[in-house]
Amino acid sequence: MAVNLENKIDRFERVAIVTGANSGLGYEAALAMSQRGLRVVLACRSPEKAETARRSILEVVPQGKLELLPLDLKKMASVRSAAAEFRRRHDRLDVLVNNAGIMYPPYAKTEDGFESQMASNCFGHFLLTALLIDLFPDTPASRITWLSSSAHKSGKINLDDINSERRYSKVASYGQSKLACLMYALELDRRLKNAGKQIRSNSAHPGGVISGLSRNMSQTALQLMKYTILPFVTQPAAAGVLPILEAALAPSAEGGRYYGPQGFLEMKGPSGRATIAKQALDRDVSEKLWQLSERLTGANYHGMT
């Protein structure tokens, strides 16, 4: 059921991290959270772009409390450095929006040996969350929100070739990465509940939003779609961010849930509960993915089983 987001958001100063906050959905999330009184940490790969985003937000919210945090999610050393820097500045974290990502790049391996989409979209966020999770107050207002996509519905977790070393499809790898993000959200929420914690882990997707993620798509195809199907299945980033804000800020948003647009094919429209594909609910694969991710990244979730 569609909801009125403004009536659901708890308004008091908290500390939030938004990854990839310099553009697109990340920027809109940082702006909206700043407007709602949160102290927002813009965790971005490019300090210059992050500073430009900070200044832009301050033009809208002159009293906004904004910080920059260098973070390159493709590099696990950068993730560890960013987490350590955040801990030097803060002794608590209330909201973490694991937003940043890439889509459809040519095949490339990171310095850690990971396929670039899995590194940027999944492994970096998995490690970052582990390094900061003990800073969250044990309250339902503490949120960890993972960005997924309708692409998760066609995704498949290839545990035997998670980094696509034997065969690479940019579309299949993206689908795998978005499925993995949703599975991380659900699995983490189960583990938090098992540990007796009130912290909520959930996921959201923006529906159809044309953003910087589309830079690797065929521009000819995009132009063709612009005048045919895109008006029916896309919406501005400012609308696409609403499910993210619901998941991360609304008191009624639950852990272990998935939020997205409620309109045609869940691609646009008001925010509400979204459909989770069957494969995302596979507990056996989820646990194996979690264990594999821990081993690959060195993440330690402080005994949460």
Q: pLDDT tens across 74-113, in order?
A: 999 999 999 999 999 999 999 999 999 999 999 999 999 9
CA distance 147 to 21: 13
Q: What is the pTM of this model?
A: 0.90
Q: Which of 27, 174, 184, 259 is catalytic?
A: 174
Q: Indicate the pLDDT class of residue 234, thresholds 50, 70 and 90.
A: confident
The pLDDT of residue 305 is 77
Name the band, by pLDDT with cuts 50, 70 and 90, for residue 208: confident
Please count the CA atoms within 13 angstroms of the CA of 137 that sit on its side-chain side.
11
How far, in Å, CA of 257 to CA of 201, rounded?
A: 8
d(CA 64, CA 70): 19
pLDDT in tens, 106-135: 999 999 999 999 999 999 999 999 999 999
Average pLDDT, the chain: 91
Beta carbons of 114 and 137 less than 8 angstroms apart: no
CA end-to-end span of the chain: 33
Q: What is the mean pLDDT of residues 219-238?
A: 57
Q: Give residue-wise pLDDT tens across range 159-171.
A: 999 999 999 999 9
Percentage of residues in the chain having pLDDT higher than 90: 84
Instruction: Judge whether 174 counts as a catalytic residue.
Output: yes
List beta partners, residue 65: 39
The residue-averaged pLDDT of 187-194 equals 98
CB-based burial of residue 167 (10 Å sphere; 0-12 exposed, 13-18 middle, 19+ buried)?
A: exposed
Q: Are strands 15-19 and 200-204 parallel, antiparallel or unpaired?
A: unpaired
Token reading at 251: 């008191």
Strand order in the sheet with 95-98: 65-70, 39-44, 15-19, 95-98, 143-147, 200-204, 258-261, 271-273
Whether the predicted pLDDT of 225 surpasses 70: no
pLDDT at 279 exceeding the cut of 80: yes
The architecture in CATH of the region 11-295 reads 3-Layer(aba) Sandwich (3.40)
Sign of CA pseudo-dihedral 227, 231, 236, 237: negative
Q: How confident is the model at residue 12 (pLDDT cuts 50, 70, 90)?
A: low
Domain spans of the chain, in order of start:
11-295
With beta carbons less than 8 A apart as the criterion, state whether 19 and 128 touch: yes
Looking at residue 242, its pLDDT comes to 96
Structure tokens at 100: 């940043």
